[in-house]
Amino acid sequence: VKSVCRSLTYPVVVITTRDSQPDRPVPLEVLCRGVTVSSFSTVAMNPGPFVTFNLRSDSRTLQAIKKTEEVMIHVLAATPAGARLANVFTK
């Protein structure tokens, strides 16, 4: 994580989590929550890694993170594909 973050000038990352633990099968797009952020940075690597990012208090993704206490961090490449993926999670 440290070496990746050092190489990022203005990181754009997608933060994802699951909305809940369903008791029945549900489509992935219903189960997952995600958001594109550009406020991502590392705070510490030991015992971490510890990172920080900003979300609106009324964000559905934030509410899901609070429930599950789990996140996945996806660092996007500075490519057209990365831009398309970032756009998916801005809606």
pLDDT by residue for the chain (91 residues), tens only, comes to 777 766 766 678 999 998 776 677 777 667 789 999 988 988 988 887 899 999 999 998 999 999 999 999 999 998 999 999 999 998 7
**CATH code of the domain in which 8 resides:** 2.30.110.10
pTM of the model: 0.76
CB-side neighbour CA atoms (13 Å) of 71: 19
Range of the domain at 74: 2-88
- Structural domain count of the chain: 1
How far is the C-alpha of 72 from the C-alpha of 66, rounded, in Å?
A: 13
* Helices and strands: H and E segment counts in the chain: 4, 5
Instruction: Measure CA 2 to chain center.
Output: 17
